[in-house]
Every structure is written in structure tokens, then in C-alpha cells.
Amino acid sequence: MTTNQHPAPSIDLSVDLCGMRLGHPVLNGSGTFDAIAARRAFGPQAWERFPFSAFVSKTITPRPRAGNPPPRLFETPAGMINSIGLPNKGLDGFLADDLPALGELPVPVIVSVMGESHAEFRRLVEGVAPCDEAAGVELNVSCPNVDSGLIVGEEPGETRSLLSDLRPVTDKPLIVKLTPNVADPASVAAAAEQGGADAVSLINTLKAMAIDPATLRPWLGAGRGGLSGPAVRAIALEQVRSVASAVGIPVVGMGGIESGTDALEFVAAGATAVAVGTASFRDPLAGERVRAELAAALERAGGKTPAEIRAGAMA
Ligand code: RRO
């Protein structure tokens, strides 16, 4: 499917993300943009003028979850800590209510899933696999806010084994969302590729906490959470470059992207596509602005395509 959202006049921004032909490289980070709520709040134009070239849904789990106790958000210098805790309708609720609606989006939908065991992941992928509305599946092995005891995303062997289990379940692209909370994300990415992943995305949030100065107790209801926003961008950039150097599959880079220049830097670090996350909380159209600024930045770089920038910088 080709989506050509607000193309720049002269630069071809389109990218191929493991078989998904996207109009430009800017996606949303899972859980940072609620497409259904946006349509409810702003009307049909929110989807007609959709800021992203593909939509990644908020992570779902097999059963419904209420999420973490409040407060769930804390603002930091140049960033934000979230402790949302995966509230969602569960697989059946998502398939019945949300996915049919998301199928009306003008861009491909990537469904993000998280299980606490191989069996749970399998159930989720088996549930999504037959749905035409889903162009791909993102396997979230990196949520910092769930004490599952599952260490899939922290351990290369576990990651390879999970992918080997899931690969036969669907022909749809499997994208593995990596955690930054390990010493060597590149070894986990390489294991995901060996297991059959079609792409990796990174970074998820960095483990973090805040202390309430009045009580000297943890601010967040769950005690800790995950840090995102510009505060993590330099870390994300290093991890994207390290992962992109270690794998042959496409990389979706994210972490504090707020401008077209930020996006271009992630492309130069090896990202085939990028995602805007925390910036969308302040401005739901941040993704559209990043896409326009990226086009302008590419013009300034001599009219190169994203793929040419990536190839040149990674040579
Ligand atoms: O819901 C969350 O608390 C959450 C998830 Br699933 C995730 O992957 N990353 C994050 O920072 N928060």
C-alpha cells in the first residue's frame, strides 16, 4: 500500500519498511498518539490529514488491563517519565472495537502486542494474523512498566527463541521493539534478526523515577517508570547507530525526535524510518511538522532521499 501524505514538491520521501511502502519515513511511537480519540476530538479531518505514514497502535495484551495507579506522568527537564502500565481492552476487545475502526485510516496499521510468555505472544499474533486491517505486528519486548518476570527483550537467546516460535504464525512483518535498558541492544537486535524478525524499532523508554520533594516518597503511583523526550535523544541515536551497524533488517529509530533535523540525524544513524512519540503529547501535529522539516532538511542536503542519506552515512 502506498501512502503519500503531504509530499514535499521535489524530494521523494517514500520508504520501504519491510514490504510496507510508506509515503514518508515518520511513524508514531506506540502509545503516544490515540488515533481513535483524535478523530473523536477533531473530527474526520484528523484522519484525512493524518500526521504519520503508518500508525502503530498502543500495545495490547491477551486480557484487559487497568494500568498502573496514578499519578502516571512526571515532567522532567527535557523529557517525561510515564508509568502508564499498559491499560488496554485486551485482544478480543481490540479486535472487536478498535482494529475495524483503525482499518479506515489512510495509512497501514501496525499492531503492537505484549505477552508474558511465548504462549501469550503466540495467542496475540495468531489473533492479529488473519486481520486484513493489520499490515504488521510490533512485538513489544521492552515495556519498562510491567513486572512480568519475562526477560525476552533483555536476553538475546530469549529474543531469538521467541521470534523462532512466532515466525511461522504469520507472513505479516514482525517488528521487534527493543529496550534501551541493556548493555548491548545490538546483540538483542541481531538475535531478533536471526529468529526471523523483519525489522527492529528502538528505543523504548529508559527506566527512571522521580521523588516528590514534599513527601520524599516516589512521585509515580507505581514507584518508577520510563523516561522519554529530548533528554534521551543522544542515547537513542547511539543505540540506533549501533543496532543498524549490527543488522541487515530495517531499523525504526526513535527517542526524543522533535524536529526534521532530529529525524535526519536518526536516518544518518541508520534508521529507515523514524517515530515521533513524546512530542505528539504537546502537539498532535508534531509528526506532520517533522515530516515537512525533514523534507526541507533533505533539500538542504542536496536533494538526497532518506535512503541515500542512510547509505552515505553508514558507508
Ligand atoms: O504502557 C506503558 O506504561 C508503556 C509501555 Br506498554 C511501553 O512500551 N513503554 C512505556 O514507556 N510505557
pLDDT at 150: 60
- Rounded-to-10 torsion of CA 246, 252, 253, 258: 170
Q: Which is nearest to 192 in space by CA: 161, 237, 171?
A: 161
Given pLDDT bands bounded at 50, 70 and 90, which one contains residue 93?
very high
Is residue 261 scored above 80 in pLDDT? yes
Instruction: Give distance in angstroms: CA of 234 to centre of ligand 1.
Output: 20
Three-class secondary structure of residue 70 per DSSP: coil
pLDDT tens digits, 46-60: 999 999 999 999 999
Please, is 282 exposed, middle or buried when counting C-beta atoms within 10 Å of its C-beta (0-12, 13-18, 19+)? exposed
Angstrom distances, CA of residue 218 to CA of 71, 82, 91, 232: 10, 13, 32, 21
Active site (annotated) includes residue 18: no
| pLDDT confidence band for 147 (50 / 70 / 90) | low
Q: How big, in percent rounded to 5, are the helix, strand and coil portions of the chain?
A: 35, 20, 45
At 218, is the secondary structure helix, strand, or coil?
strand
Q: Decide: 179 in ligand 1 pocket, CB within 6 A.
A: no
What's the Rg (C-alpha) of the chain?
A: 18
Report the nearest atom of ligand 1 relative to the CA of 204: 9
Would you state the cell numbers that stand for residue 90, as one nine-digit string? 485486551
Average pLDDT of the segment spanning 104-114: 98
Q: Is the dihedral of CA 250, 253, 259, 262 positive or negative?
A: negative
Using pLDDT thresholds of 50, 70 and 90, give the confidence band for residue 199.
very high
Q: How far is the CA of 115 from the centre of ligand 1 (A)?
A: 13
Whose C-alpha lies nearest to ligand 1, atom 8?
143
Task: Write out pLDDT tens, residues 174-195.
Answer: 999 999 999 999 999 999 999 9
For residue 11, the model assigns a pLDDT of: 86
Ligand 1 pocket, residue 59 CB under 6 Å: yes
Q: What is the pLDDT of residue 314?
A: 84
Cα 85 from Cα 143, distance rounded (Å): 8
Please state the rounded mean pLDDT for residues 303-307. 95
CA torsion sign for 174, 177, 182, 185 is positive
Interatomic CA distance for residues 118 and 101, integer angstroms: 28
| 269 touches 253 (CB < 8 A) | yes
Quick count: other Cβ atoms within 10 Å of Cβ 59?
24
The active-site residue out of 17, 80, 143, 257 is 143
Round to whole Å and give the CA distance between 92 and 78.
37
Tens digits of residue pLDDT in 29-79 = 999 999 999 999 999 999 999 999 999 999 999 999 999 999 999 999 999
pLDDT at site 313: 85
pLDDT computed for residue 1 by the predictor: 40
Q: Mark out the alpha helices in the chain (DSSP H runs).
A: 35-42, 45-48, 90-93, 99-102, 118-128, 156-166, 185-195, 233-246, 260-268, 279-282, 286-300, 306-314
Q: What is the average pLDDT value for the chain, to the nearest integer? A: 94
pLDDT digits (tens, 9 = 90+) for 216-252: 999 999 999 999 999 999 999 999 999 999 999 999 9
Predicted confidence (pLDDT) per residue in 201-218, tens digit: 999 999 999 999 999 999
